[in-house]
Structure 1
Amino acid sequence: MARQPVFAGSFYPASKQLCERMLESFKPKPEPEACAVVSPHAGWVYSGRTAMRAVERLKGKGTVVVVSPNHTGIGEAVSVSKQDWVTPLGEIKCDAEAAQKIVDEGFAFDEAAHGQEHSIEVQLPFIQKLFPEARLVAVTMADQSLEIAGKLGEALAKLDVAVIASSDFTHYEPAKQAKQKDDAVLAALEGLDVKEFYDALKENECSACGYGPIAAAATFAKKRGAKKARVIDYSNSGQRTRDESSVVDYYAIEFI
């Protein structure tokens, strides 16, 4: 013989309908998926956890555009790749049609710019793990001016894609000072005003390397209806090295 409820009606509702309604109310509200994120690009032992927190927030789009700073100085002002890319997890196919549409907006194909650029490649296994069917467009920016970032963001907004802006933040400063600078810059970015963001970069002497990709992603996101940028994770290299006298800051940021 089954045990009958004793505490229904006191500790919890007596009716099935009320039980189900109350249980449903306890469930966390689903977070809105992000149309774009900022993800760090250091070695995974330093920034991998933060990168995963960023990329997992993306909408599961069929195509992901990864926009990076050009650390080598090789190639065009904005260089688009039309190659497929390989990582230890296998091959990720290029969305050739999307890549061509970006180039048609006044940019250029240039594979040389990508040959020794790390800041796109390190993002790809996260995409492959989380979105196995996704295709890729890789874009690297040598010209990170406000004008070019805005132009690229507007071009991306015409496509059915998700965007990853690949960037680390302040480099090689004491941890407390670095975070103060970066938090001030990110406060300026919160409302998706890229001019305010650029002004804050200058005012705070922030050495974020991918400010152009971040601005392009913010422009894209605003065009897509996003209202704000939100920090979802923070770490720094000193947490790994146990030396916070000179760190690089890493943020996961979503545009929602």
Structure 2
Amino acid sequence: MRHEAATTRAPAVAGQFYPGEPEALRAYVDELLQGAAAERAAGEQAPRAMALPHAGYPFSGAAAAAGYALLAPARARIRRVVLLGPSHFVPLEGMALPEAEAFTTPLGEVPISAELYERARAHPAVQVSAAAHAREHSLEVHLPFLQRALEGLECLPIAVGRAGPEACGGLMEQLWDAQTLLVVSTDLSHFYDDATARRLDRETTEAVEALDGERLDSRRACGAVPLRGLLWLARRHGLRARTVAQCNSADATGDRSAVVGYASYVFD
């Protein structure tokens, strides 16, 4: 049984990762989505799954938008999003659901799917942990994009700790259907110089496009565990991976001494 009506963590994320004022946030996200939509090929189908970055919007927002803009053809069809991201602050064995019935952003509440929650809770690698979600930005930063890109959204946020690709991918498979989108939240390399970071990130992209999760670890992607699970799922279901955006923090700041890499991958 979930007892909280909603989590109110959004104000802690707002201001650090995206604007905290609703109109400013709505305008910012819409501008990013519109800019990305201009690059979308006519007639392109919506992806079945995505792996997108979770940094502050000035750094990775345009890259994330490149993925979210592709959801336009399925705006009314996709009703649920399973959102998996690394647990940055709480060590976890397996994966964790929140103790909440909704997540809150400045754009309003996003209900947590009761149906998916109960199905996920039955998985042997899944626990319930309010602590794992209390400060976790890797999940929450995606919600404003989802609120603007989709209609009537329900979500299932899952914090991911130590888990094998089959356990994580198997959970995704259990929750996935034609009306449910999978989103893995991950940034790429962290705090290498620009040249080293771009080399590592190119290698990571090659591995993702080859669906080769064995080449990925936390040095290359903070969300390597759920990303490897998604690649396991993609291989089982014959999906292809495409890169729709790639950059790093130096592209926004000009500081090339210690950068963070970002990419957006879509699976169809």
**1:108-187 alignment, distance < 5 Å:** 108-157=127-176, 160-187=179-206
> What residue is the counterpart of 1:10 in the other structure?
none
* Partner AA of 1:121 in structure 2: E
Instruction: Give yes or no for contact 1:68–1:210 (8 Å, CA) kept in 2.
Output: yes
> What residue is the counterpart of 1:241 in the other structure?
253
1:206 aligns to 2:224 (yes or no)? no
TM-fit CA distance, 1:29: 4.7
* Alignment TM-score, normalising by the size of structure 2: 0.76
Instruction: Give yes or no for contact 1:78–1:143 (8 Å, CA) kept in 2.
Output: yes
Supply the distance in 2 between the matched residues of 1:34 and 1:184 (Cα, whole angstroms): 23
TM-fit CA distance, 1:133: 1.2
Equivalent residue of 2:261, what SS? Answer: strand
Question: What do the CA deviations read for 1:47-78 (whole angstroms, capped 9, x no partner)?
Answer: 11111112222444100011000001255520
Equivalent residue of 1:213, what SS? Answer: helix
Partner of residue 120 from structure 2, selected from 102, 113, 116: 102
Instruction: Give yes or no for contact 2:92–2:162 (8 Å, CA) kept in 1.
Output: no
Instruction: Give yes or no for contact 2:83–2:157 (8 Å, CA) kept in 1.
Output: yes
> What residue is the counterpart of 1:15 in the other structure?
none
Moved segments of 4+, more than 6 Å: none
Question: What do the CA deviations read for 1:156-214 (whole angstroms, capped 9, x no partner)?
Answer: 3468410110000001112222121121122122132xxx322x235xx8331001121
Kindly tell me: are residues 143 and 160 of structure 1, through their superposed partners in 2, closer, same or farther at Cα, counting changes over 3 Å?
Answer: farther
1:62 aligns to 2:87 (yes or no)? no
* Alignment TM-score, normalising by the size of structure 1: 0.79
Kindly tell me: are residues 159 and 213 of structure 1, through their superposed partners in 2, closer, same or farther at Cα, counting changes over 3 Å?
Answer: farther
**1:15-30 alignment, distance < 5 Å:** 29-30=42-43
Aligned residues: 222
Equivalent residue of 1:53, what SS? Answer: helix
Supply the distance in 1 between the matched residues of 2:128 and 2:244 (Cα, whole angstroms): 33
1:92 aligns to 2:105 (yes or no)? no
TM-fit CA distance, 1:33: 1.5
Instruction: Give the percent of matched residue pairs that are identical in Structure 1 and Structure 2.
Output: 29
> What residue is the counterpart of 2:94 in the other structure?
77
* Partner AA of 2:102 in structure 1: D
Equivalent residue of 2:262, what SS? Answer: strand
CA RMSD of aligned residues (A): 2.1
* Partner AA of 1:174 in structure 2: D
Kindly tell me: are residues 131 and 102 of structure 1, through their superposed partners in 2, closer, same or farther at Cα, counting changes over 3 Å?
Answer: same
Supply the distance in 2 between the matched residues of 1:162 and 1:110 (Cα, whole angstroms): 23
Larger Rg: 1
Supply the distance in 1 between the matched residues of 2:216 and 2:236 (Cα, whole angstroms): 22
TM-fit CA distance, 1:224: 4.7
Supply the distance in 2 between the matched residues of 1:141 and 1:210 (Cα, whole angstroms): 8
* Partner AA of 2:260 in structure 1: V
246-255 or 170-179, larger mean C-alpha shift: 170-179
Instruction: Give yes or no for contact 1:69–1:144 (8 Å, CA) kept in 2.
Output: no
> What residue is the counterpart of 1:43 in the other structure?
56
Instruction: Give yes or no for contact 2:166–2:232 (8 Å, CA) kept in 1.
Output: no
Supply the distance in 2 between the matched residues of 1:181 and 1:225 (Cα, whole angstroms): 26
Question: Tell me, which stretches of 5 or more residues in structure 1 are unaligned?
Answer: 1-27
Supply the distance in 2 between the matched residues of 1:91 and 1:163 (Cα, whole angstroms): 20
